[in-house]
Chain A
Amino acid sequence: GESVGLHLPTLSVQEGDNSIINCAYSNSASDYFIWYKQESGKGPQFIIDIRSNMDKRQGQRVTVLLNKTVKHLSLQIAATQPGDSAVYFCAETENSGNTPLVFGKGTRLSVIA
């Protein structure tokens, strides 16, 4: 069935380096994508989103890139900090707010001080 998946289950980066987390999706009808950060014992926290009519969107220290041709999504974190250590999920949906989010398994980001 349709699914969202991640290429790398774990990622270790040195503090101060940039992190890139990748995600592949398979539902060509998806038009809204979100990255969530989940710390241990907490619910997913919204990081950044992007709609299918965009290729790139920037936030504070984070950038999301969307390549609809190959159905690929990435999250870039600049100057990674220890507080960025968490599990990151990408999620897709066909219509924000109304349709279910489809999540992948997640990538665990570990920041080495």
Chain B
Amino acid sequence: DAGVTQSPTHLIKTRGQQVTLRCSPKSGHDTVSWYQQALGQGPQFIFQYYEEEERQRGNFPDRFSGHQFPNYSSELNVNALLLGDSALYLCASSLEETEAFFGQGTRLTVV
């Protein structure tokens, strides 16, 4: 059983560009959450998707958007990239009343 998988593992983008990160949840999980982890910090909640809709959102600007597909996989889109968007982006999947499982993350570097 594959766990949570994320792609790509590493990415380098230029300021102002747009990026799309992808996540496949653990088999059987229907909820996907995205977190941003800056170097030396704990993960910060971006948003959560359930039944193809954004259910909750953290304190992130509208440049951060997402999508969930019928197969529960999800994408995170970031527009107009800033240097400060450089971080490890983590996807976590879960099912009602169960713990969240995290993927390995996508390391985004904005130059």
* A106 shortest CB reach to chain B, Å: 6
Stretch at the interface among A11-19, A59-67, A77-85, A92-100: A92-100
Interface residues on B, range: 20 to 34
The answer to whether B25 has its CB under 8 Å from any CB of chain A is no
CA distance A97 to B97 in the complex (A): 5
Using an 8 Å CB-CB cutoff, how does the interface string of B30-44 with A read, 1 for contact, 0 for none?
Answer: 010101000011111
> Number of residues in A with C-beta < 8 Å to the partner?
24
The answer to whether A101 has its CB under 8 Å from any CB of chain B is yes
The answer to whether A34 has its CB under 8 Å from any CB of chain B is yes
Knowing that A34-B99, A45-B102 touch, tell me 8 more A-B residue pairs with CB under 8 angstroms.
A43-B103, A44-B102, A96-B97, A96-B100, A97-B94, A100-B33, A101-B45, A101-B100
Chain B residues engaging chain A, CB cutoff 8 angstroms: 4, 31, 33, 35, 40-45, 48, 50, 55-56, 58, 90, 92, 94-105
